[in-house]
Amino acid sequence: MLPIKFAKMLMLMSGLYAGLAIPGSAQTFDTSGNSKLNGDYFVRQVITTNLDSSTSAIGQAFSITGIMTFDGQGNYAFQGQLLDSTKAGGATAFSTSGTYSVESNGMAQIQDPLPNSKDVEYGAVSGVGPSSIVASATEGAYTDVFVAIQAGSGATNSSLDGSYAVGFIDFLKANASQVRDGYYTLTSTGNGSLGSVSVNGAMANQNSANVTQTFPGVTYSITSANGAGTLTYPTAATPLTALVSGQKTLYVSADGSLLLGGDPNGFDLIMGIKSLSGPAANSMYQGTYYNAALENDASKLAAGDNSIDSFWGSTLALGSQGARGRPQPGLVRRDD
């Protein structure tokens, strides 16, 4: 099985600072919190569908990269790129519009942006700290994860400053049997250079063994005032044996504390959070955190069996080495 440490890391980072109350029922969404979503958000979404019922082989995968603009009244417009694993030629320009609803406590549902999709992304908007969204579709045709962070203005390379804890998952070439995940630290002084980066992770096609790989000369460039840019690793001569490779789209949140990205021509998700400036304590992890994830259990890969699932829910952290899962009724997990 791929390291569970990343799956948990991604869920917690995706639910950043989302100290939201949980309603007694998730059967009906109101719209009293729609104004919580207003303005431009960077979006990365990875979708798997048409999964083989016994092996979870991916029949079709999509990735979406771009900007979703919310009007604060229940409508959004999206501009970006769409990659479809069944079509040649790589990612193409993509625009669409849709609707969303946010309850007073931040729970959210967003119409899936894929063309002709009838799925709904369920999740939440962060309640305190940097504004972010995490969601997943669990009730329809797609198994996916959706993450968004608020775009800013006046961003430059210096907006990425300090250390960031980063996690990733990558369905390389839309192949469940080549999925890889991992985590690493990025340290920036704001000049575009990240130096050598040591990445810890595992690759399903390499027996899911824990490995550490070092990538020299990693760089980034913030090319747009809203915080969009690129993150570039050395291009691997043999991508099947590399945890990461090549150039990714990189987004920096408005306050510089969150990173989001992925390859527009791939099916990966990168999520980062700025590291603490001082020592950590159990009491810091306290309150309700919403989370979502797209996972692949590769523990039975030798028998030709993967197990892809997606879910969303919440965790109540007690601040004392304890936590309780708080899934929402009827909207929790999809297993294929």
* Cα(33)–Cα(202) distance, integer angstroms: 40
Q: What is the DSSP string of 110-166?
A: EE--STT---EEEEEE-SSSS-EEEEE--SSS-EEEEEEEE--SS--GGGSEEEEEE
* Cα(120)–Cα(126) distance, integer angstroms: 19
Closest CA to 124 of 14, 226, 38: 14
5 CB burial (10 A radius; 0-12, 13-18, 19+): middle
* Cα(107)–Cα(29) distance, integer angstroms: 8
Domain spans in the chain, listed from the N-terminal domain onward: 4-152+278-335, 157-274
The answer to whether 149 and 42 are in contact (CB under 8 A) is yes
Beta strands in the chain (DSSP E): 38-49, 60-71, 75-84, 92-102, 107-111, 120-125, 132-136, 143-150, 161-171, 179-189, 193-203, 211-222, 228-232, 247-252, 258-262, 268-274, 286-297, 307-318, 323-325, 333-335
Q: Pick the residue with more confidence: 61 or 26?
A: 61
Which band of pLDDT confidence, cut at 50, 70 and 90, is reported for residue 327? very low
Residue 59 confidence (pLDDT) above 90: yes
User: What is the rounded average pLDDT of the residues 45-60?
Assistant: 93
pLDDT given at position 15: 33
Which band of pLDDT confidence, cut at 50, 70 and 90, is reported for residue 23? very low
With a pLDDT cut of 70, the percent of the chain lying above it is: 87
The answer to whether 331 and 310 are in contact (CB under 8 A) is no
pLDDT given at position 16: 33
Instruction: Share the mean pLDDT of the chain.
Output: 87
Closest CA to 12 of 314, 274, 311: 314
User: What is the rounded average pLDDT of the residues 162-188?
Assistant: 97
Closest CA to 107 of 8, 26, 16: 26
pLDDT given at position 331: 39
Residue 330 confidence (pLDDT) above 80: no
Q: Does domain 157-274 have CATH number 1.10.357?
A: no
* Cα(116)–Cα(324) distance, integer angstroms: 37
Token pair, residue 204, equals 């399903």
pLDDT given at position 29: 77
* The model's pTM: 0.89
pLDDT given at position 324: 58
Torsion sign, CA atoms 193, 196, 197, 203: positive
pLDDT given at position 320: 82
* Cα(144)–Cα(150) distance, integer angstroms: 20
Which region, left, alpha or beta, applies to residue 176 given φ > 0 means left and ψ of -120 to 50 means alpha?
alpha
Least confident of 3-12, 112-121, 155-164, 288-297: 3-12
Q: Pick the residue with more confidence: 335 or 267?
A: 267
User: What residues are paired with 292 via a beta bridge?
Assistant: 312
